[in-house]
Structure 1
Amino acid sequence: MGLWTDLINPVEATGIARVEQYEIEQAKGGTLARFLPNVFVPSDHVKFYPSSTGLVDAASYRAFNDRPQIGKGQGAKASTIDLPAIARTEPLDEMTQKELARLSDDRVKKGIEASIRRNVQAISQRQEWARGRVIDSGALVVDADNFAINDVFGRSASLSATAGAGGWWNDNAVDRLTALSTWQDLYASLNNGVAPGRMVFGSRQAYNAFAAGNQFKTLVGSASRPPLASEVQAYAAGAGLPEYEIYDRSVSIDGVLTKVLDPKKVYLLPEPVAPDSEDGSQLGATYWGLTVSAQFESWGIEADEQPGIVCGVFKDEKVGSSVEVEADAIGEPVAANPNASMAIQVLS
């Protein structure tokens, strides 16, 4: 099946794909790319330096005329991960082509553009799901029929915590603020004293359980009422907890609606950054690499634009003709400092 450029070439198709990806990650509801931002690399693998703290040692004092002390760099040992392929094709079958043949080129092109966007949405959903796995468990483990990933980044086991019997937030009498302060101290102890910059509830259900605590109820006359959201935020801030948000996003995995984060958990994370921050975050980054297809001379994509999602349209002019809109990418979220995420189950 040959590349078909009569209506749209790979450069234009890839441009549409990149815009769609950007808009998805700027949309209301947020993206975990704010904690594992997109970084584009001209390779099919990524080398990173695992860190227990993510911090650089303070510089040493120097006597005048002495040479400066040599720094230790980012880590003693580099790790390399081969970036997995993520792709999707959307065919336009013969009957659909017959219908499109009656339309103007502009209308047909719009249909192809819609297919490009759906392909990008599918790839973005897969990558967002992967970010959720890394944040939740400190690892990305996939065991599919035709593919497997087993990248364990080395997070401390103590950062996968549970409230446990007598501490579940299903009970309104449980002291939420004291428990969170204890977990925050544990997080800081494994991050060189740096406290989390953001608290993320894995669902509206988890947040509602937090806000339902008796300690937040406000006395009005001789009766009590549930607190306002602003009052809960003020109580939490007063207890020294970081700003919080609710992340309640789901994606479709093999036709099953799947929560990206565990709805029974709350997460302690570093301060969020822009989804396209080239420096990554305190936790790590989502690396998008260079596919073979992006380098095809016939696709005409400039070298600087090759890493990331790329798209092309193909046509088979044999009997039973088909047109296929394809999107190709390689990429994976990597937790270079896995201890910068903590997952706590608070609902039984």
Structure 2
Amino acid sequence: MALWTDLIEPAELTGYVRAAYEDVERARGFLAAFLPNQEVHDVVVRTYTGEAGLVDEASYRAFDAEPEVIAGGQARKLVIELPALGSVKPVSEYSQLRARNATDEVLRDVILREALRSVQGVSDRTERMRGTVLETGKATIDQANFQVEDDFGRDPSMTVTTSAVWSGSTAKVLDDLTAWADAYADLNGERPGALVVSSKIARAMRRHADFQTVTVEGVTRHASLETVNSVLSSEGLPAITVYDRRTSSAGKAVRVLSEDRLLFLPDPVDPFSGAPTPLGATWWGQTLAASEADMGIPDEQQPGIVASLDRASRTPRTVSIDVDAIALPVLANANLSMAAKVL
């Protein structure tokens, strides 16, 4: 296969898919607000994991006396090799024959539509990996053609299970939440800023006695989400955010986050701010294709998704849209994500 630049240059197609990716992420990539997108001119990320958010206090000293030496933290250096992901979408020989009398503009529209589908696939897989990382404290890939697991060292106390499921009559929802938020604060030095739940968990909370309302006629009603959040706020807890995104894997719909688990997380941020966060980031490395001269991508723009249009030089004259990336969500402080099984 060789680059087919007559219709669209690789740099132009790359710019299109990057803009499309940002649009998709802003519209659907909710978890990117906790693991924002960042770039690195490499395929390796080096970070320190295992430290809680608390930092040893400074100590007072007498004038002319040396300050106290503070011992180093318990951080563990972690080197993460970013994996590659992407797709090849062929444009069949038959489709090309049907479109051979079309204008270049029509053909470009076909190519851009298919490129957008590829971008959506990259966004979906990245978001599902963010869910895995936040829920388990590990980046686990278990495919037939590729297996890897990176453990970010989350404290076992940040993975919990309720003693009484929230759908049952003996559940103590507020007691559970306040206890877990306190444990989160004790370990990290700050309270959680976000509470992410599934619709199923949200329904269980609305039906629970801790949130139900009683009318003047004495009728008990399920609480609204507004009422639930008002009660949570009065207890110093973050409002719930309902998140049910599903993606497609091998033709089957799969959830990004488990339906029976909730997440305590820090406050969300702009996913494209480029600023580091204590929790971590979604790191985008530099592909080999990006550095090839015929791709025409400037050095400073080479990290991130790249795309090209390729064409076979012999029969069948197949054309394919190649979307290539190197990326992985990485936790810098895994203890800032807490997962609780409640159903």
User: How many angstroms does 1:73 deviate by?
Assistant: 8.5
Q: Distance in 2 between matches of 1:76 and 1:163?
A: 30
* Structure-2 residue corresponding to 1:143: 142
1:213 aligns with 2:211: no
Deviations 1:278-325 (Å, cap 9, x if unpaired)? Answer: 233221111000000000001010111110100000111312111110
| SS state at 2:38 partner | strand
* Structure-1 residue corresponding to 2:22: 22
Deviations 1:31-72 (Å, cap 9, x if unpaired)? Answer: 211111111000011111114224555556688899988888
Q: Distance in 1 between matches of 2:29 and 2:44?
A: 27
The residue correspondences of 1:101-250 to structure 2 (distance < 5 A) are: 101-164=100-163, 167-172=164-169, 174-191=171-188, 193-201=189-197, 203-221=198-216, 222-250=218-246
Change in CA separation of 1:208 and 1:64 when aligned onto 2, cut-off 3 Å? same
1:271 aligns with 2:270: no
Deviations 1:212-231 (Å, cap 9, x if unpaired)? Answer: 10122212122222222211
* Structure-2 residue corresponding to 1:306: 302
User: How many angstroms does 1:244 deviate by?
Assistant: 2.0
Q: Distance in 2 between matches of 1:296 and 1:59?
A: 51
Change in CA separation of 1:227 and 1:76 when aligned onto 2, cut-off 3 Å? closer
TM-score by length of 2: 0.94
Q: Distance in 2 between matches of 1:207 and 1:282?
A: 28
1:282 aligns with 2:278: yes
Change in CA separation of 1:276 and 1:319 when aligned onto 2, cut-off 3 Å? same
User: How many angstroms does 1:190 deviate by?
Assistant: 1.6
Matched to 1:95, the amino acid is: Y
Kept after mapping to 2: 8 A contact 1:162/1:344: yes
1:343 aligns with 2:342: no
Report how many residues are paired.
342
User: How many angstroms does 1:3 deviate by?
Assistant: 0.5
* Structure-2 residue corresponding to 1:98: 97
Kept after mapping to 1: 8 A contact 2:93/2:318: yes
Deviations 1:2-54 (Å, cap 9, x if unpaired)? Answer: 11111111111111111111111111x55211111111000011111114224
* Structure-2 residue corresponding to 1:334: 330
Kept after mapping to 2: 8 A contact 1:283/1:341: yes
Kept after mapping to 2: 8 A contact 1:30/1:247: no
Q: Distance in 2 between matches of 1:14 and 1:67?
A: 56
Q: Distance in 2 between matches of 1:260 and 1:319?
A: 41
Kept after mapping to 1: 8 A contact 2:29/2:123: no
Kept after mapping to 2: 8 A contact 1:44/1:290: yes
| SS state at 1:267 partner | strand
Matched to 1:35, the amino acid is: F
| SS state at 1:14 partner | helix
Return 5+ residue gaps in structure 2 as ranges: none
* Structure-2 residue corresponding to 1:42: 41
Kept after mapping to 2: 8 A contact 1:265/1:343: yes
| SS state at 2:168 partner | coil
Q: Which moved more, 1:170-179 or 1:292-301?
A: 170-179
Matched to 2:87, the amino acid is: R
Q: Which moved more, 1:54-63 or 1:278-287?
A: 54-63
Q: Distance in 1 between matches of 2:54 and 2:307?
A: 38
TM-score by length of 1: 0.92
Matched to 1:4, the amino acid is: W
Q: Which moved more, 1:272-281 or 1:112-121?
A: 272-281
Change in CA separation of 1:65 and 1:5 when aligned onto 2, cut-off 3 Å? farther
Q: Distance in 1 between matches of 2:107 and 2:29?
A: 32
Change in CA separation of 1:212 and 1:299 when aligned onto 2, cut-off 3 Å? same
Kept after mapping to 2: 8 A contact 1:36/1:280: no
Matched to 2:340, the amino acid is: I
Matched to 2:211, the amino acid is: F
Identity %: 38
Kept after mapping to 2: 8 A contact 1:173/1:213: no
